[in-house]
């Protein structure tokens, strides 16, 4: 990853979520949070960017199936024997089927 590309990614995500990038994430932020993106509300946003993540391949499969049925793709991840479930959706509104946009 280029030296400052993580800043561009954080700014892009912040715009999509209607927030702003935390310029000094971590303990030195002075914003009362170490989150990467500052939002009004109770969400803590941490951004992870990698060349490859298995979850993207899984999500692409779900998205392809959902599009055939004109539905919004949702992937739920779960580790066997663990209580945590994760819901994965797209941030892009333009990827939603026309009947799901509002």
Is the overall model pTM greater than 0.75, yes or no? no
Domain layout of the chain by residue ranges: 1-49, 51-102
Alpha carbons within 13 angstroms on the beta-carbon side of residue 82 total 7
CA 97 to chain centroid = 19
Burial (0-12, 13-18, 19+ Cβ within 10 Å), 36: buried
Tell me the residue length of the chain.
Answer: 102
pLDDT score at 102:
47
Largest CA distance in the chain: 47
Per-residue pLDDT tens for 71-102?
Answer: 999 999 999 999 999 999 998 765 566 565 54
């Amino acid at each position: 990853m280029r030296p400052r590309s993580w800043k561009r990614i954080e700014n892009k995500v912040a715009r999509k979520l209607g927030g702003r990038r935390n310029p000094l994430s971590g303990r030195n932020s002075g914003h009362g949070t170490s989150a990467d993106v500052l939002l009004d509300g109770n969400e803590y946003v941490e951004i992870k960017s990698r060349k490859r993540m298995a979850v993207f391949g899984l999500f692409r499969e779900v998205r392809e199936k959902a599009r055939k049925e004109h539905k919004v793709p949702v992937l739920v991840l779960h580790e066997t024997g663990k209580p945590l479930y994760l819901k994965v959706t797209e941030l892009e509104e333009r990827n939603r089927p026309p009947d799901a946009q509002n």
